[in-house]
Amino acid sequence: MCIYRTGSPLIQPGRVGPCTAIVGGGHFFLVDCGPASFRVIRFLGLPVGRLSGIIFTHYHSDHIGDLGEIMTFSWIGGNSKLAVYGPKGVREVVNGFNEAYSLDKGYRIAHHGADILPPENHGYVIHVIPPVPEGRDNIILFRDNTSTFTIKGFEVNHYPVKPAYGYRFEFNGRAVVVSGDTCKCDSLIKNAFKCDLLIQEAICCEVIGKMAKVFKSRGHPNTKRQAKFLDDILDYHTPVQDGFDVAAAADVKEMVFSHLVPTPQNMLLENIFFLYSRKPTSWKGTATIGADGMIFTVRENHTIQMVSSALVKRPNPYRLAGQIGTVLAGFLYYIARSNPNAKNVSIFAGAAALLTWFRSQPDFVSRM
């Protein structure tokens, strides 16, 4: 079972809209397809022409933006109509995309021919996920009995967005859970229980709160408007500390923070995400700050391996500091080699800079 994850709702070079790919048991599903996520899917070389379906958590624009592109390239790749699963509202979203892409469909058939692009394969097969029945924790939306691959949906709290879902993927005793957009809630804890990997959305309230304060203090109508949006988003996402508490309460093996608000630009800022929270002592798992193109494999014996840390190298301030420090220390050693004190300082500084450089390999990831 493999996971490829991308995503963040805010615009930042190197980070596209939320989209998590789950591959296992001969199936390939996407959870959400935020703006520009299709590009990452293509760069990773994922077989869009063999996509089993897209599953929506809810219909905020940052989760649905690339539906049309993915359907089009699934069709071009030889797939038949694309299966789209989602709670109430999926029909409206899909019909809108269908209409928007109807001209494109005509152009392509006229240009390449209906034999290679059958018109009947263009578009979607809509699966509306019904509400979770009273007294149940989740609802099964997909099951493949031959490979024991199962997808369960559960309601989460992203109020006023309702319904909003999270998903649990199970395959031969392994489980991966995608939280969707949500606050900390009981159904997430129940459904994430003892899963191997939890893809957990996260907001750093302390940083967003400080940003809102600065915007407010500027007093301009535009910055006040920005501050209002920042204040509003605080109450329907999961603060980092709550994310840790969910992981501990559900006893998950590993957690990846995704849908990062605000979007960290580099690894130094990624670490600020962890600055205001404490990992519960009762939880023995690992939390990783997600990056576009990060790939995990959950093996049969439940070992989890990070196969790829990112699609593109992110600016790594530690690496740059190590490189500059090593050069400067070398220079200092050269000009002050007759002075024993300066010589010792330069050797010490050089060793520290080299160590920083060594520690900050390109695949160094922010973990706790």
Total binding residues toward Zn ion, as defined by CB under 5 A? 4
One character per residue 153-192, x = contact with Zn ion (rule: CB under 5 A) = ----------------------------x-----------
Closer by beta carbon to Zn ion, 1 or else 67:
67
CB of 181 to Zn ion, least distance (A): 4
User: According to the binding rule CB under 5 A, does residue 15 interact with Zn ion?
Assistant: no
Does a cis peptide bond (omega within 30 degrees of 0) precede residue 13? no
CB of 242 to Zn ion, least distance (A): 16
Cα separation of 341 and 349, whole Å? 12
Which helix (H) or strand (E) segment is 10 a member of? none
Q: Where are the alpha helices (DSSP H) in the chain?
A: 37-43, 61-64, 67-76, 90-100, 102-112, 186-191, 205-218, 221-233, 240-250, 267-275, 317-335, 340-359
Sign, Cα dihedral of 94, 100, 102, 108: negative
Closer by beta carbon to Zn ion, 233 or else 349:
233
Closer by beta carbon to Zn ion, 60 or else 184:
60
Cα separation of 236 and 231, whole Å? 11
Which residues ranging from 203 to 262 are in contact with Zn ion (CB under 5 A)?
A: none
Which residues ranging from 35 to 64 are in contact with Zn ion (CB under 5 A)?
A: 60, 62
CB of 354 to Zn ion, least distance (A): 41
CB of 89 to Zn ion, least distance (A): 13
Closer by beta carbon to Zn ion, 9 or else 123:
9
Closer by beta carbon to Zn ion, 65 or else 322:
65
Helix (H, G, I), strand (E, B) or coil at 113: coil
Cα angle value 118/121/125 (rounded, 5°): 170
Cα separation of 67 and 93, whole Å? 9
Q: Which of 1, 5, 9, 204 binds Zn ion (CB under 5 A)?
A: 9
CB of 341 to Zn ion, least distance (A): 56
Closer by beta carbon to Zn ion, 159 or else 331:
159
Contact positions vs Zn ion (CB under 5 A) = 9, 60, 62, 181
